[in-house]
């Protein structure tokens, strides 16, 4: 009989369950969930969230005052400070509980090291619905960098598809000013995705914001700028003002414009490549975009 031992299974294929230890079992499990004074807790060092919306906190505080905290806060004992705990997941609930004037909160206490605490905190927050796209992208990047997970394993850990994880991470390649627009809610994640492959995303973002374009219109504008007209040499004698006007209108609409003078009148021709561009143009002209 062969005594060759099989190699241990790859941790990557198991997602984050390989990085976060299982909670205690048996009698220890009943003591893991505790009720602790709010002052014994403090934010942990692995919080991926940025500024918390005050209106959202007030709304959550009102719900907590009415219904209590339905999901315990996840925390670990603070090293070298008995009786103190670092929040791993649930800082928003902890802050809202204080606004609701609660003196104690339910806490699930876990003995986690720094790497495990970071993984647990990131996953807990990434499963929330109110993270902005940049916070989400930064959380994914930290998990990939720190733990060497595949995008597929990471998607399974946070309940997202691999393509969603990949497309979200790509937003980190946008210029800083564009990332700030997404982080502050000025641009949506859908808008931001149209900018990733744009030749000048900052300039395009400014146009989208100034014109209040929806995502479909932003996609049409990005496509027009990514494939500019291969212009023919300008005919001699063309009015420079008309040429300049064509360029200005083309840049403004993101579609190729031709102005043809005919005596005292003339015509303006708007070129579109597909039905999406036509739909965006119609919405813009009708003021329904």
Q: Are the C-beta atoms of residues 219 and 227 closer than 8 Å to each other?
A: no
DSSP3 helix / strand / coil % (the chain, rounded to 5): 50, 10, 35
Structure confidence at residue 104 as a pLDDT band (50, 70, 90): very high
Number of residues assigned to the chain = 289
Segment 191-217 mean pLDDT: 89
Q: Which of 17-31, 115-129, 185-199, 243-257 has the lowest mean pLDDT?
A: 17-31
Beta bridge partners, 87, equal: 43, 75
Confidence (pLDDT) at 17: 55
Segment 35-39 mean pLDDT: 95
Confidence (pLDDT) at 42: 93
Mark whether 124 is an active-site residue. Answer: no
Q: Which of 138-152, 167-181, 269-283 has the lowest mean pLDDT?
A: 269-283
Q: pTM for the full model? A: 0.57
Beta bridge partners, 34, equal: 107
Set 28, 39, 66, 91: catalytic member: 91
Confidence (pLDDT) at 157: 77
pLDDT at 22 over 80: no
Domain boundary assignment for the chain? 13-162, 240-286
Please enumerate in sequence order all residues whose Cβ is within 8 A of that of 92, keeping only pairs 6 or more positions apart, or say none.
49, 52, 56, 57, 60
Confidence (pLDDT) at 223: 77
Q: What would the pLDDT profile of 269-279 be if each residue is shown by its tens digit?
A: 888 877 777 87
Segment 150-158 mean pLDDT: 82
Structure confidence at residue 19 as a pLDDT band (50, 70, 90): low
Please enumerate in sequence order all residues whose Cβ is within 8 A of that of 8, keeping only pairs 6 or more positions apart, or say none.
none
Q: What is the DSSP letter of 86?
A: E
CATH fold of the domain at 13-162: 3.90.1530
User: In 3D, which of 287, 257, 289, 252 has the Cα closest to residue 272?
Assistant: 257
């Amino acid at each position: 009989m062969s005594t060759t031992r099989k190699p241990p299974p790859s941790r990557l294929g198991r997602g984050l369950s390989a990085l976060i230890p299982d909670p205690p079992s048996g009698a220890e499990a009943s003591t893991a969930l505790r009720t602790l004074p709010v002052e014994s807790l403090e934010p942990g060092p692995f919080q991926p969230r940025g500024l918390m919306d005050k209106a959202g906190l007030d709304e959550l505080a009102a719900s907590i005052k009415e219904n209590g905290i339905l999901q315990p806060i996840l925390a670990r004992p603070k090293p070298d400070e008995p009786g103190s705990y670092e929040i791993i997941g649930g800082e928003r609930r902890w802050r809202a509980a204080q606004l609701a004037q609660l003196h104690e909160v339910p806490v699930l206490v876990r003995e986690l090291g720094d790497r495990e605490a970071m993984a647990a905190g990131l996953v807990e927050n990434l499963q929330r619905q109110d993270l902005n796209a940049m916070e989400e992208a930064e959380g994914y990047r930290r998990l990939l960098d720190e733990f060497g997970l595949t995008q597929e394993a990471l998607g399974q850990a946070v309940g997202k598809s691999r393509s969603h994880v990949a497309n979200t991470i790509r937003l980190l390649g946008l210029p800083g000013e564009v990332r700030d627009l997404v982080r502050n809610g000025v641009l949506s994640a859908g808008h931001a995705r149209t900018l990733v492959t744009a030749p000048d995303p900052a300039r395009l973002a400014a146009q989208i914001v100034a014109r209040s374009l929806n995502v479909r219109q932003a996609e049409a504008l990005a496509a027009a700028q990514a494939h500019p007209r291969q212009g023919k040499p300008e005919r001699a004698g063309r009015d420079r003002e008309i040429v300049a006007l064509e360029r200005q209108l083309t840049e403004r609409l993101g579609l190729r414009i031709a102005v043809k003078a005919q005596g005292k009148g003339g015509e303006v021709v708007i070129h579109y490549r597909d039905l999406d561009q036509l739909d965006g143009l119609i919405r813009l002209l009708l003021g329904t975009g």
